[in-house]
């Protein structure tokens, strides 16, 4: 049984990833700021699961969350860096606290969570029968590759996470650790979205299927960057 940690879980894609991985038999460590929600989700999963409420902007919270997950589920095999926190504001309407939070919850939290997970992956590298020591996936967005007007914090954070993922992939790939970045190029049909054109949105369950595919990939044909978007006629 693999132990997977999802850092930044909420209704929508985070929950879909958790449910997909649980259906595949993974033990799950779920990190989220909202304690009530993550505890309810953990109790509803058909697998061993640990709720680890934490503020991903706080390094000590991240360390404590991983310690708790390891203590109950064992070493980490899979990490999904899924958290983000940024408002849709432009240069002069974004204050320093909001900009700093976008960085702390985005690329900095991804960096710290990855350090925690890679310690486990390196320690267990010799045990992988197929030469794979672990998998780390970053959730990206259109703004990971194309800065968005009126979203300086979000664009900065997603660009930073993409650069971090690419650097880690080149460093850790030779050790059997698969690092992948997923560009979510479009809106996600989360529970709160009301629309007359659902075909213009990505289905979070379908995205979660793609995340699991990345975990299962053979080392001879790893994906570095996966670009997902809904099919629309004028694409």
CATH number where 35 lies: 3.40.50.720
CA distances from 146 to 35, 96, 210 (A): 34, 22, 22
Q: Per the domain annotation, does 146 fall within a domain?
A: no
Q: How many domains does the chain have?
A: 1
Per DSSP, the three-state class of 162 is helix
Q: Per the domain annotation, does 149 fall within a domain?
A: no
Q: Per the domain annotation, does 32 fall within a domain?
A: yes
Rounded to 5 degrees, what angle do the CA atoms 142, 186, 147 make? 20
Per DSSP, the three-state class of 183 is strand
Per-residue pLDDT of the chain (235 residues; tens, 9 = 90+): 899 999 999 999 999 999 999 999 999 999 999 999 999 999 999 999 999 999 999 999 999 999 999 999 999 999 999 999 988 999 999 999 999 999 999 999 999 999 999 999 999 864 556 678 999 999 999 999 999 999 999 999 999 999 999 999 999 999 999 999 999 999 999 888 888 888 899 999 999 999 999 999 999 999 999 999 997 655 4
CB 12 within 8 A of CB 204: yes
Pairing of strands 134-141, 177-184: parallel
Backbone φ and ψ for 26, nearest 5 degrees, come out as: -70, 140
Across the chain, which distance is largest between two alpha carbons, in Å?
53
Q: Per the domain annotation, does 209 fall within a domain?
A: yes
Per DSSP, the three-state class of 102 is helix
Tokens of 164: 């971090």
Burial class (CB in 10 A: 0-12, 13-18, 19+), 76: buried
Q: Per the domain annotation, does 108 fall within a domain?
A: yes
The parent domain of residue 133 ranges over 3-83+100-141+159-228
Q: Per the domain annotation, does 137 fall within a domain?
A: yes
Q: Per the domain annotation, does 12 fall within a domain?
A: yes
Q: Per the domain annotation, does 153 fall within a domain?
A: no
pLDDT computed for residue 185 by the predictor? 95
pLDDT computed for residue 129 by the predictor? 61
pLDDT computed for residue 59 by the predictor? 98
């Amino acid at each position: 049984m693999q132990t997977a940690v999802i850092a930044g879980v909420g209704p929508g894609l985070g929950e879909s990833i958790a449910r997909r991985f649980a259906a595949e038999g993974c033990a799950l460590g779920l990190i989220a700021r909202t304690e009530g929600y993550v505890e309810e989700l953990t109790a509803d999963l058909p697998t061993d699961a640990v709720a680890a409420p934490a503020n991903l902007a706080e390094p000590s919270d991240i360390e404590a969350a991983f310690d708790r997950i390891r203590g109950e589920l064992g070493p980490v095999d899979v990490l999904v860096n899924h958290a983000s926190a940024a408002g849709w504001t432009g240069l002069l309407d974004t204050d320093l606290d909001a900009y700093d939070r976008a960085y702390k919850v985005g690329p900095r939290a991804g960096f710290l969570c990855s350090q925690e997970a890679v310690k486990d992956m390196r320690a267990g590298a010799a045990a992988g029968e197929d030469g794979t020591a672990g998998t780390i996936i970053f959730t990206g967005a259109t703004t990971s590759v194309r800065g968005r007007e009126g979203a300086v914090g979000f664009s900065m954070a997603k660009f930073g996470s993409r650069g971090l993922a690419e650097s880690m992939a080149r460093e850790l790939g030779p050790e059997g650790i698969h690092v992948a970045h997923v560009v979510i190029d479009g809106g996600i049909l989360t529970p709160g979205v009301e629309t007359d054109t659902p075909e213009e949105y990505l289905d979070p369950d379908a995205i979660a299927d793609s995340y699991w595919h990345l975990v299962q990939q053979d080392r001879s044909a790893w994906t570095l960057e996966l670009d997902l978007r809904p099919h629309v006629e004028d694409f």
